[in-house]
Structure 1
Amino acid sequence: MTPPQGTRLRGRALRLTVFLSESDRWEHRPLSTEIVHRAHTAGLAGATVFRGAEGYGASSVVHTARLLSLSEDLPVTVVIVDTEERVRAFLPLLGVVTGERLVTLEPVEVPRLGPASAEDGA
């Protein structure tokens, strides 16, 4: 289900963050790509993939762009923002592909910025 064109998320929302590494795969494609495509198909408001310069996780192995041998497995996060109801409904779909990877949820506020529009009651 894709959100209607021009729909803007405002007010209280939930930010979902998935912590991965570049080497994580789902059926021969990057896991981050799979998550973004599933979020889009589910009609969530937005998803972005961020590639980290350095980090470590459960393995305690530091991955860094400064060491050529480890620069192929840098940390990656996928951030998704939508209403709490829609994000929580997406969690079972996400769990199928993420397994035991770290996933966090944080409440966020999405402000209205820019000029007022008719949609805002102005």
Structure 2
Amino acid sequence: MTLPSGKAKMLKIYVGETEKFGNKSLYHAILLKLKENGLAGVTVSRGVESYGAANRIRTTRILDLSADLPMIIEAVDTSETIDRVLPFISEMVKKGLIITFDVDVIKQG
């Protein structure tokens, strides 16, 4: 699906890379759920350093190697589409952060 230029909404989800949903990684299960629901596109990125609610620093630096770095899932689509998938995503994410915000699509493709 191609988004027209103009107003859209971004969905951004932060979860730990070791979090599971059934027998899959949570971030992969979220990607599959968003694809199944027809979102225009989704990107999953791995954070290199972070801290969150527990205030514990996680890093990729070799001396402090962490096995539970953040995974960031980003999707941009219409407000209606993002709002439609939010209940599914909220149910899947037991521990993490889910945010949305309005964006302007300048160019796609």
Same fold (TM over 0.5): yes
- 3-state DSSP class of the match of 2:61? coil
Aligned counterparts of 1:43 and 1:85: Cα–Cα separation in 2: 12
Q: Which residue of 2 aligns with 1:86?
A: 81
**Residue deviations 1:62-119, cap 9 Å, x none?**
10001456432111110011000110010011112113521111111112367xxxxx
Letter in 2 for 1:75: P
* SS across alignment from 2:87: helix
Unaligned runs of 5+ in 2: none
Question: Which one-letter code corresponds to 1:80 in the other structure?
Answer: A
TM-score normalised per structure 1: 0.81
Root-mean-square deviation (Å): 1.7
Counterpart check, 1:109 vs 2:86: no
Q: 2:49, 2:59 within 8 Å by CA — same for their partners in 1?
A: yes
Q: Letter of the 1:52 partner, please give it.
A: G
CA positional deviation for 1:27: 1.0
Relative contact order higher in (CA < 8 Å, ≥ 6 apart) = 2
The reply to whether residue 55 of structure 1 matches residue 50 of structure 2 is: yes
* Corresponding residue of 2:15: 20
Larger Rg: 1
C-alpha distance in structure 1 between counterparts of 2:49 and 2:92, whole Å: 24
With structure 2 as the length reference, what TM-score do the two structures score? 0.90
Is structure 2 residue 13 aligned with structure 1 residue 9? no
Determine which of 88, 96, 102 is the counterpart of 2:91. 96
Partner amino acid for 2:53?
A: A
Give the number of equivalent residue pairs: 108
Deviations, residues 27-55 of structure 1 (Å, cap 9, x unaligned): 12110000000000000111110101000
Conserved? CA contact 2:2–2:108, under 8 Å: no
